[in-house]
């Protein structure tokens, strides 16, 4: 159990650097072969698009609090979420193990009368608390509970709250500038993502609880941009510092792209995260935005 908690913590928060952390994203591919078209959506988890690991992996899982499709009028429609039960090997040999996975693959079939506008696929992970501490007998412990729910603490070594957010858009007809949906950490596109081509400049706004994020001496915040056709196989991505909430990059190739950001902030008694005071000392948030370039 202790090893499982350690693996989950490393998978979510990273070990030596943010680059080592797992990401959650939404795969969203639109097809017009048969009019009026459809979108195939699924949940991505790990390091490499479109599929790297399974959300219910025994090596570190992500549990979604909600996965939804938000229509142009702002109405939310619940989508199927991946299984929360850890996957167990369905086949074991001397050379490999086979684990069945649940990526919440779904087909969103459009209709002739489908309302025109921009649709949003949104995923939010279940908030997870990690408290590492020394108990009253001097033993090091790690529990998936807020600090205030643990009774035998002598010294807190780490108390964090983690949550991840993912977005992807589907445009029916003409693109319209989308509004923020209120994610704790959110990437809002300022570019028409329905018609991005190689060489185009993609601009985004990054919000932390609704306020523009900006690189400072305390927190050097930046976005990363990666694609299976650019940098992913070599383990690198493009970066852009976030200044006054804005960041940008130029698309290098056609195909699926993911913009990602991670942010860590302290919890204080009178600060913007005061509701978490006593439960956690820091929050770690991750956000992603995926689109397909032509």
The residues facing 134 across adjacent strands are 140, 155
pLDDT of residue 95: 98
Q: What is the mean pLDDT of residues 236-241?
A: 91
Q: What is the mean pLDDT of residues 15-23?
A: 56
Least confident of 7-16, 121-130, 232-241, 281-290: 7-16
As a whole number of Å, the CA-based R_g of the chain is 20
Q: List pLDDT tens digits, range 43-58.
A: 999 999 999 999 999 8
Confidence band of 37 (pLDDT split at 50, 70, 90)? very high
Residues 277/288, Cβ–Cβ less than 8 Å = no
Length of the chain: 294
pLDDT of residue 250: 97
Residues 42/82, Cβ–Cβ less than 8 Å = no
* Two tokens, residue 242: 């976030």
Phi and psi torsions of 63, nearest 5°: -110, 120
The residues facing 248 across adjacent strands are 203
State how far the Cα of 61 lies from the Cα of 206, in Å rounded to an integer. Answer: 26
Residues 107/69, Cβ–Cβ less than 8 Å = no
At residue 227, does pLDDT exceed 80? Answer: yes
pLDDT of residue 58: 86
For residues 232, 121, 179, 290, the Cα torsion angle rounded to the nearest 10 degrees is 10
At residue 9, does pLDDT exceed 60? Answer: no
State how far the Cα of 170 lies from the Cα of 39, in Å rounded to an integer. Answer: 8
Q: List pLDDT tens digits, range 122-164.
A: 999 999 999 999 999 999 999 999 999 999 999 999 999 999 9
At residue 230, does pLDDT exceed 50? Answer: yes
pLDDT of residue 20: 54
At residue 22, does pLDDT exceed 80? Answer: yes
Residues 51/23, Cβ–Cβ less than 8 Å = no
* Two tokens, residue 200: 């185009």
pLDDT of residue 11: 46
The residues facing 10 across adjacent strands are none
Residues 214/196, Cβ–Cβ less than 8 Å = no
Residue written as tokens 């990690």?
A: 130
Q: What is the mean pLDDT of residues 64-85?
A: 96
**With 0-12 CB in 10 A as exposed, 13-18 as middle and 19+ as buried, what is 204?**
buried
Phi and psi torsions of 276, nearest 5°: -95, 0
State how far the Cα of 65 lies from the Cα of 74, in Å rounded to an integer. Answer: 19
Query: Does residue 44 or residue 234 have the better pLDDT?
Result: 44
Instruction: For 104-208, list the strands marked E by DSSP.
Output: 106-109, 117-125, 128-135, 140-143, 153-172, 185-189, 201-208
At residue 10, does pLDDT exceed 50? Answer: no
Average pLDDT, the chain: 91
pLDDT of residue 16: 37
């Amino acid at each position: 159990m202790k090893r499982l908690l350690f693996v989950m913590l490393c998978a979510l928060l990273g070990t030596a650097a943010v680059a080592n952390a797992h990401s959650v994203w939404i795969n969203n591919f639109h097809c017009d072969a048969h009019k009026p078209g459809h979108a195939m959506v699924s949940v991505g988890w790990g390091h490499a698009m479109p599929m790297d690991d399974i959300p219910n992996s025994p090596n570190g899982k992500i549990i979604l609090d909600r996965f939804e499709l938000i229509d142009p009028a702002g109405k939310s429609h619940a989508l199927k979420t991946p299984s929360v039960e850890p996957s167990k090997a369905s086949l074991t040999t001397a050379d490999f193990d086979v684990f069945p996975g649940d990526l919440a693959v779904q087909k969103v079939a459009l209709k002739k009368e489908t309302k025109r506008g921009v649709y949003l696929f949104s995923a939010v992970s279940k908030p997870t608390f990690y408290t590492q501490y020394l108990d009253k007998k001097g033993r090091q412990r790690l529990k998936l509970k807020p600090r205030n729910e643990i009774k035998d603490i002598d010294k807190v070594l780490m108390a964090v709250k983690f949550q991840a957010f993912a977005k992807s858009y589907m445009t029916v007809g003409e693109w319209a500038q989308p509004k923020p949906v209120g994610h704790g950490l959110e990437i809002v596109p300022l570019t028409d993502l329905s018609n991005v081509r190689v060489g185009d400049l993609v601009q985004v706004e990054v919000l932390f609880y609704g306020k523009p994020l900006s690189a400072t001496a305390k927190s050097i915040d930046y976005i990363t941009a990666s694609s299976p056709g650019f940098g992913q196989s070599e383990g690198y991505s493009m970066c852009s510092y976030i200044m006054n909430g804005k960041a940008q990059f130029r698309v290098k190739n056609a195909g699926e792209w993911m913009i990602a950001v991670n942010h860590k902030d302290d919890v204080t008694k009178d600060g913007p995260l005061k509701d978490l005071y006593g439960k956690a000392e820091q929050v770690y948030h991750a956000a992603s935005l995926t689109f397909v370039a032509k």
